[in-house]
Amino acid sequence: MESIYLDHAATTPVHPKVIEAMLPVTQEVYGNPSSVHQFGRKARRILDQARRTAAKSIGANEKEIVFTSGGTEADNLAIIGTAMANKEKGKHIITTNVEHHATLHAAEYLESTGFEVTYLPVDETGSVRVQDVKEALREDTILVSIMMVNNETGIMQPIEEVADLLKDHQAAFHSDIVQAYGLIEIDVQELAVDLLAVSGHKINGPKGVGFLYVREGTTLASLQHGGEQERKRRAGTENVPAVKGMEEAIMIILENRDAYREKYRSFKEQFLNTLTEESVNYTVNGSEDKCMESIVNISFPGTNVETMLTNFDLSGVAASSGSACTAGSVEPSHVLSAMYGKGDARTVNSIRFSFGLANTEENVKEAARKVSQIVHRLSE
Amino acid sequence: MKEPKDTRVVVGMSGGVDSSVAALMLKQQGYDVVGIFMKNWDDTDENGVCTATEDYEDVIRVCNQLDIPYYAVNFEKQYWDKVFTYFLEEYKKGRTPNPDVMCNKEIKFKAFLDHAMSLGADYLATGHYAQVRENDGVYEMLRGVDHNKDQTYFLNQLSQDVLEKVMFPLGHLEKKEVRRMAEENDLATAKKKDSTGICFIGERNFKDFLSEYLPAQPGNMETLDGEVKGKHDGLMYYTLGQRQGLGIGGAGDPWFVVGKNVEDNILYVGQGFHHDALYSDGLIASEAGWTKGEAPTEPFKATAKFRYRQQDSGVTVEPLEDGRLKVTFDEPERAITPGQAVVFYDGDVCLGGATIDTVLKEEEAVTYVG
């Protein structure tokens, strides 16, 4: 039985060219980029080059890129680092209740140390209202953190409007762009954000690497203490091979952006069409015209997530509920709860399918047929 | 009969050594094995660690060693509704319930079995010490070969439609053999301590646990003649035949719980392990279940257990017209406790069981046992 991977929002296969790029670095470039000898310089050159590529990908300058161990660390550094550096200016933070846990739990941690956090709701389409952000803003607000694309639903948030709203406010604006980066064009010369968090492994790069964009002039306290790497913002010897791999991944995705988007759009369409042809009872969660091509979150009335995902896996289809698992048991999705209210059936009968390089037209349709069979069998 | 490789067996895995070895054996026999962890209770210990998370981690480790898929399923709501609510209700009535019997009947071999079947399983396996044998299309449940670990007492409510779908791979093994297999195969759980007590209480103090859910009503401790001997902390904290925690000093034999008066909130105590009030010669039981399906209509001789890990005693079982059972003992029995299960055997075959409602002495109901 061939297994079909429809969970690219969780992580992606590493592109062969990425491996190719990393291999010689792993084999030969073992110097410490901070060292003052030629071995160190060789490693440092790789970092510098990658930093330029990362910066260019969003229209930033090199000094504004901090390499991290991934998206979670980038979010934590942005949120906790900003709060710690600006606590004299105020203790109020605004975010939404559909953020990734890397943001939500960082915010909760800050609450426990005396910060005040406003969690904005979303409407049924999955979007935050700009008006709500405006109303929540206070004089002592020091940070607003809103993700660009939701990892469970694929819904895009009105980041530009929020950025514009914040132009004349002291609050720093952070956006987790982990799910958007690469596919959505981002230019920090146009978009008035101060901080952006990116992960390498969501764009066919290696795991354990990511970066944070920090606009020049944004004050940030470092969370990790030690050496003076990353201009004192992130201590610890850089993961040079992984950074090299991420650089390659960035170049590949930027080059193929339009083709990928078109491909994933067509995968989504074929997946949904197949479900319809197979007479499956389903609804798509969130507004379809504000949704990323690569993600679709589907509610199957009358089913339950646990039984569905287990059955999918046993028949070779890998998807996820998008929500957190504790002791393996699935908690109702906090994102869908925010959209539809706690206790709504959709919070426990919805599955996230996400498309990427592991997919072909054929395996997407095949997966949809398997999903259909299981849904029919379980609703007998 | 399908080949093992085409036969899917879902193994209920708790993270303990028994279910780990059950999965190991099935895998060695070539079955299509799927490990599933069942979460029935939401619990966090004093260090903020969820005990279920730790157990599931062990399940994951073992399943990865065996190279079988693993999943978890949540039955907290069903467990609360079907088992825990019953447990509390019984205590409120002054009885001593057996939540494990109810858990097997309502959760493990009902909700969980249904879940396993919805995953395309042919069988559900667990690490229980019991055996199933087919005899002309009739499934019999037999005691585990290790009589000291035999768990048929807790499984007495399983019926034919369940028994035809279950496997107990450990039934023919001694516990020490199971440990040995776990160690030989270097299973992650090989050295893990066996769990004790009621699953949702774990290692905690029973009294503290119960007091979180039921209000304790302290009252008098009296002899059956009405002599006040002290105070009790709440009837639910005591069970018949218990010696510990009474705090009655003085000369002579130690004191024991011999009965409860729920209406007047009195705990009856008596002196001596063999106090006459603790002995009875029969009982009435309800909610009978028969493993072979058909309920008996005529009186019959059998052996019985009135609590777990007790030697069998000879009894005569008489089905009453209202569906209840009258059980007469060959010899007087000590501390028969309402709420506990009475389980019947014919040799090694577990015939079924019922819940003890009334204790009889010379054909009369004993009124002081609650």
Report whether pLDDT(B95) > 80.
Answer: yes
Mutate to test the interface with B, among A329, A375, A377 (most CBs of B within 10 A): A329
In this predicted structure, what is the pLDDT of residue A347?
Answer: 93
- Plot region of B30 (φ>0 → left; ψ -120 to 50 → alpha; else → beta): left
Which residues of chain A have a CB within 8 Å of the CB of B41? none
* CATH classification of the domain holding A286: 3.90.1150.10
Tell which of A251, A270, A304 closes a domain.
A251
Domain B277-369, second-level architecture: Beta Barrel (2.40)
Residue A352, min C-alpha distance to chain B (Å):
18
* CATH classification of the domain holding A56: 3.40.640.10
Q: Which residue of B has its CA nearest to A375?
A: B118
pLDDT-derived band at B205 (thresholds 50, 70, 90) equals confident
pLDDT tens digits for B245-299? 898 888 889 999 999 999 999 999 999 999 999 999 999 999 999 999 999 999 9
pLDDT tens digits for A208-265? 999 999 999 999 999 999 999 999 999 999 999 999 999 999 999 999 999 999 999 9
Compare B48 and A316 and report the one with higher pLDDT: A316
Residue B60, min C-alpha distance to chain A (Å):
10
Catalytic, B63? Answer: no
Q: Which CATH number is associated with domain B4-184?
A: 3.40.50.620
Catalytic, A325? Answer: yes
Question: CB-based burial of residue B223 (10 Å sphere; 0-12 exposed, 13-18 middle, 19+ buried)?
Answer: middle
Q: Answer whether B56 sits within 8 Å of A328, measured CB to CB.
A: yes
In this predicted structure, what is the pLDDT of residue A143?
Answer: 98
Let me know whether A271 and A126 are in one domain: no
Close Cβ partners of B324 (under 8 Å, ≥ 6 residues apart): B284, B285, B286, B288, B354, B357
Which residues of chain A register pLDDT less than 50? none
Report whether pLDDT(B151) > 90.
Answer: yes
Class of domain B215-273 as given by CATH: mainly beta
Q: Which residue of A has its CA nearest to B14?
A: A327
Q: Answer whether B69 sits within 8 Å of A314, measured CB to CB.
A: yes
Q: Spot the catalytic one: A19, A23, A314, A325.
A: A325
Let me know whether A35 and A129 are in one domain: yes
Q: H helices of chain A, where?
A: 16-28, 38-57, 71-85, 101-112, 130-136, 159-165, 240-277, 305-314, 334-340, 361-378
Q: B91 in contact with A at a CB cutoff of 8 Å?
A: no
pLDDT-derived band at B368 (thresholds 50, 70, 90) equals confident
pLDDT tens digits for B60-84? 999 999 999 999 999 999 999 999 9
Mean pLDDT of B179-199: 91
Mean pLDDT of B43-61: 82
Question: CB-based burial of residue B135 (10 Å sphere; 0-12 exposed, 13-18 middle, 19+ buried)?
Answer: exposed
In this prediction the pTM is 0.91
DSSP E strands in chain B: the ranges are 8-12, 32-39, 70-74, 123-125, 130-135, 138-143, 166-167, 219-222, 228-232, 255-261, 266-271, 279-290, 300-305, 313-319, 325-334, 341-346, 349-361, 364-365
Tell which of A202, A223, A251 closes a domain.
A251
pLDDT-derived band at B202 (thresholds 50, 70, 90) equals confident
In this predicted structure, what is the pLDDT of residue A326?
Answer: 55
How many domains, in total, are found in chain A?
Answer: 2
Q: Answer whether B39 sits within 8 Å of A328, measured CB to CB.
A: yes
In this predicted structure, what is the pLDDT of residue A330?
Answer: 63
Mean pLDDT (chain B) is 94
CB burial of A177-193 (b: ≥16 within 10 Å; e: otherwise) equals bbbbbbbbebebeebbb
**Among A7, A179, A185, which Cα is nearest to A100's?**
A179
Close Cβ partners of A141 (under 8 Å, ≥ 6 residues apart): A90, A92, A93, A94, A169, A170, A171
Let me know whether A263 and A298 are in one domain: yes
Let me know whether A88 and A42 are in one domain: yes
Let me know whether A272 and A185 are in one domain: no
Q: B90 in contact with A at a CB cutoff of 8 Å?
A: no
C-alpha distances in Å from residue A270, one per residue of A5, A103, A266, A274, B316: 16, 33, 6, 6, 69
Let me know whether A212 and A81 are in one domain: yes
From the CB of residue A27, how many other CB atoms can be counted at a distance below 10 Å?
9
Let me know whether A305 and A231 are in one domain: no
Let me know whether A236 and A295 are in one domain: no
Residue A64, min C-alpha distance to chain B (Å):
39
Tell which of A203, A227, A251 closes a domain.
A251
Report whether pLDDT(B184) > 60.
Answer: yes
ipTM of the complex: 0.86
Let me know whether A222 and A242 are in one domain: yes
Pairing status of strand A141-145 against strand A92-96: parallel
Report whether pLDDT(B10) > 80.
Answer: yes
Q: Answer whether A328 sits within 8 Å of B34, measured CB to CB.
A: no
Domain coordinates in residue numbering, chain B: 4-184, 215-273, 277-369
Let me know whether A77 and A106 are in one domain: yes
Let me know whether A165 and A230 are in one domain: yes
**Cβ atoms of residues A49 and A55 within 8 Å:** no
In this predicted structure, what is the pLDDT of residue A329?
Answer: 59
Q: Answer whether B71 sits within 8 Å of A326, measured CB to CB.
A: no
- Plot region of B72 (φ>0 → left; ψ -120 to 50 → alpha; else → beta): beta
Let me know whether A187 and A308 are in one domain: no
Residue B125, min C-alpha distance to chain A (Å):
18
In single-letter form, the type of residue at position A375 comes to V
Share of chain B above pLDDT 70, in %: 99
Helix (H, G, I), strand (E, B) or coil at A226: coil
Q: Structural domain of residue A193, as residue ranges?
A: 16-251
Facing residue for B72 by CB, picked from A311, A313, A328: A328
